[in-house]
């Protein structure tokens, strides 16, 4: 009797696996590509019909396959077993530190010219703020990776770019809060301050940074703030265990880091609060206590590692304009903060010590609702007491994320 060919099992298993991978989204994307091919390109006499079709099909993302996330997890396990510490993706190079935390490699050494351009922009903003009776502070947060133990073959200019930028800010006499130096002095510049699988710092670090900002504003400008509101012992901390797979973990899979999915803290005041959180461009208003207003609980309720971002339970995420009013401190200071996403875990706590915190995000990306606002125009309009620019890491002006596009200075002057 002929021996049974075991490769039949392989073939059947593989093709069942392939078949199971098709989701309605994937099939719909295919149908769209075929529809465009027949009814748009061929019917329209477009000579590029085949290259258009192949491009459309090639661009159907593999994350429309049913088990895409599970495939990422399988790949992450493989990378972990092989001790891979540098993962090259289409859009990023990720590094694993000695303790297993993932960081986003900053592969570009910023030239002096690039940094000088940034300093010039920041200096212009500072001068404008001062000329409108406000005070300015640049808050430099260390991007994850600064001071951490990287693989010896890693290419990362995070630390050197940051240090050089801080030196230039100092030389330009721009009021700056160097959080890296402060964190280092307080023994906080380590992996514990950052998520393992995300590029952001933890809420605890953001909370601490808020206190540091308040203290700096106090020392420089006599900012009167309630130190109880920057003391963590006056807050409840609810820990969501194994709840959070960060931005970098979602790129590589759940099993790449030793801890896998990680905990995230929800820090809420143990004292009375009453705030109003507005997003004028969306005509959205939330009012109530801290949790009801500045926390966006839908981002943390119902655990979903790949499709949820619990980090943005704080502030809700990145918006062109967000205004937080403290209804229990109507006589306090008005603060404008131009920021990146490291401020998500800062602005809610900062609002406890201000009457209003206005948040502007001028970075370039396609996920924002609405166009970026002109910071200069906005300053003229609201006349803030303090203007903060809070950014992680260092960046040039060109070939960057647009963080220093503060607007049309000439028009505003």
Partner 1 sequence: MLFSSVPFIYLFLPTVLFFYYVVFRRSRNLQNIFLLAASLFFYAWGEPKFVLVMMASIVINWLLGLLVSKYKEDKVRSRLLIGVDVAINLGLLFVYKYLSFTGSIINAVFGLDLAIPQIALPIGISFFTFQAMSYVIDVYREKGEVQKDIMYVGLYISFFPQLIAGPIVRYETVADEIKNRKETMDDFFDGFARFVVGLAKKVLLSNSFAILADKAFESTELSAGFGWLGALAYTFQIFFDFGGYSDMGIGLGRMFGFHFLENFDYPYISTSITEFWRRWHMSLGTWFRDYVYFPLGGSRVKKGRMVFNLFVVWFLTGLWHGANFTFIVWGLMYFVLLVMEKLTGFNKKEGKVLNVVKWLYTMLFVILGWVIFRAESMEYAFYYIKAMFGLNGNALVDGMFTGYLKQNAILLLFGILLSTPIVPTLKKKLGSHVLWDVVSVVGLIGLFILSVASLASSSYNPFIYFNF
- Footprint on this chain of partner 1 (rule: CB under 8 A): 5-11, 13-15, 17-18, 21-22, 30, 48, 50-51, 54, 57-58, 62-63, 65, 68, 71-72, 74-76, 78, 81-90, 151-154, 251-253
Closer residue to partner 1 (CB): 72 or 397: 72
Query: For residue 344, what is the DSSP state?
Result: G
Nearest 5°: phi and psi at 364?
-90, 125
- Residues sharing a CB contact under 8 Å with residue 214, sequence separation 6 or more, in sequence order: 223, 225, 230, 350, 353
Residue closer to partner 1 (CB basis): 78 or 380: 78
Looking at the Cβ atoms of 82 and 410, the one nearer to partner 1 is 82
- Nearest to partner 1 of 14, 43 (CB atom): 14
Please give the DSSP secondary-structure letter assigned to residue 314: B
- Residue 36 DSSP symbol: I
Encode 168-182: b = buried (16+ Cβ within 10 Å), e = exposed. Answer: bbeeeebbbbbbbeb
Q: Are 190 and 99 in contact (CB under 8 A)?
A: no
CB of 27 to partner 1, least distance (A): 11
**Smallest distance, Å, CB 261 to partner 1?**
17
Cα(230)–Cα(239) distance, rounded to whole angstroms?
A: 19
Closest CB to partner 1 among residues 23, 268: 23
In which residue are the tokens 């973990």 written?
249
- Return d(Cα 91, Cα 229) in angstroms, integer: 40
**Cα Rg for the chain, rounded, in angstroms?**
24
**Residue (80 or 325) nearer to partner 1, CB:** 80
For partner 1, the closer CB: 69 or 372: 69
Which residues, in sequence order, are bridge partners of residue 285?
278
- Strand ranges, E, within 245-301: 262-269, 275-279, 284-288
> Minimum Å distance from CB 192 to partner 1?
24
- Smallest gap from residue 93 Cβ to partner 1 (A): 10
* Closest listed residue to residue 357, CA positions, set 380, 377, 387, 381: 387
CB atoms within 10 A of CB 121: 17
Of 87 and 209, CB closest to partner 1: 87
Least distance from C-beta 341 to partner 1, angstroms? 23
The β-bridge relationship of strands 386-392 and 135-141 is parallel
Nearest approach, Cβ of 26 to partner 1 (angstroms)?
8
In angstroms, what is the minimal distance from the CB of 96 to partner 1? 9
Q: Minimum distance from CB of 67 to partner 1 (Å)?
A: 9
State the minimum distance, in angstroms, from the CB of residue 251 to partner 1: 8
Neighbours of 299 (CB within 10 A): 17
The nearer residue to partner 1, 93 or 276, going by C-beta atoms, is 93
Strand partners, 94: 87, 104
């Amino acid at each position: 009797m002929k021996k049974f060919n075991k490769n039949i099992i392989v073939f059947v298993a593989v093709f069942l696996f392939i078949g199971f991978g098709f989701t309605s989204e994937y099939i719909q994307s295919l149908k769209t590509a075929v529809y465009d091919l027949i009814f748009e390109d061929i019917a329209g006499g477009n000579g590029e019909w085949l290259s258009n079709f192949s491009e459309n099909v090639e661009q159907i993302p593999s994350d429309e396959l049913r088990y895409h996330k599970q495939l990422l997890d399988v790949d992450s396990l493989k990378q972990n077993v092989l001790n891979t510490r540098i993962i090259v993706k289409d859009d990023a190079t990720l590094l694993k530190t000695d303790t297993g935390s993932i960081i986003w490699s900053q592969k570009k050494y910023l030239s002096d010219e690039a940094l000088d351009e940034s300093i010039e922009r920041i200096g212009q903003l500072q001068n404008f703020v001062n000329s409108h009776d406000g005070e300015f502070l640049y808050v430099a947060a260390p991007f994850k990776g600064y001071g951490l133990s990287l693989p010896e073959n890693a290419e990362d200019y995070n630390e050197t770019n940051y240090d050089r930028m801080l030196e230039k800010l100092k030389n330009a006499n721009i009021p700056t809060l160097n959080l890296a130096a402060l964190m280092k002095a307080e023994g906080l510049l380590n992996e514990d301050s950052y998520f393992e699988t995300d590029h952001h710092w933890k809420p605890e670090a953001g909370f601490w940074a808020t206190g540091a900002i308040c203290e700096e504003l106090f020392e420089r400008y006599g900012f009167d703030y309630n130190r109880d509101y920057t003391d963590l012992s006056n807050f409840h901390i609810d820990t969501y265990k194994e709840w959070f797979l960060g931005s970098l973990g979602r790129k590589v899979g759940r099993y790449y880091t030793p801890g896998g999915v990680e905990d995230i803290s929800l820090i809420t005041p143990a004292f009375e609060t009453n705030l109003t959180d507005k997003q004028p461009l969306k005509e959205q208003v939330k009012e109530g206590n801290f949790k009801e207003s500045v926390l966006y609980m839908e981002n943390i309720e119902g655990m979903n590692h790949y499709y949820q971002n619990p980090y943005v339970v704080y502030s809700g995420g990145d918006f062109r304009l967000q205004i937080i009013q403290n209804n229990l401190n109507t006589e306090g200071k008005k603060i404008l903060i131009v920021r990146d996403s490291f401020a998500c875990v800062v602005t809610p706590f900062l609002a406890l010590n201000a009457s209003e915190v206005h948040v502007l995000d001028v970075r370039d990306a396609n996920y924002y609702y609405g166009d970026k606002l002109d910071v200069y125009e906005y300053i003229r309009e609201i006349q803030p007491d303090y203007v903060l620019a809070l950014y992680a890491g260092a960046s040039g002006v060109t070939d960057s994320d647009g963080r220093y596009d503060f607007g049309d200075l000439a028009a505003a002057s």
